[in-house]
Amino acid sequence: MDIESRLRVLEQNLMERLAAEIAQDAVLDALIATHPDQRAFLTAYQTISAHRLTQFGDLGFEQQAEAESVAKVCNLLREQFDAWQRKLSTGI
């Protein structure tokens, strides 16, 4: 497969993942907006997201990934978690 074909396949994969993420975002927004106990939802989210960051860091260590790479992804995850927390805090 030539480089152009590979790039097209990668682009298509990226677009499919983006579409799936947008759809998931809509579902999550609906669940959040209709949840009867917003405070409990936010507390659970904070606990789970902190745990996921720890899990990712542990996985990076276990896989002997470069610390800089793990830190970069952890920062990206934290940014996403923070964005969702802002949504939760404002009720979307």
**In the chain, where the domains are located:** 1-34, 37-92
- Over residues 2-23, the pLDDT tens digits come to 999 999 999 999 999 999 999 9
- Over residues 58-91, the pLDDT tens digits come to 888 888 888 888 889 899 999 999 998 988 888 6
DSSP secondary structure string for all residues of 4-70: HHHHHHHHHHHHHHHHHHHHHHHHHHHHHHH-S-HHHHHHHHHHHHHHHHHHHHHHHHHTT--HHHH
pTM of the model: 0.71
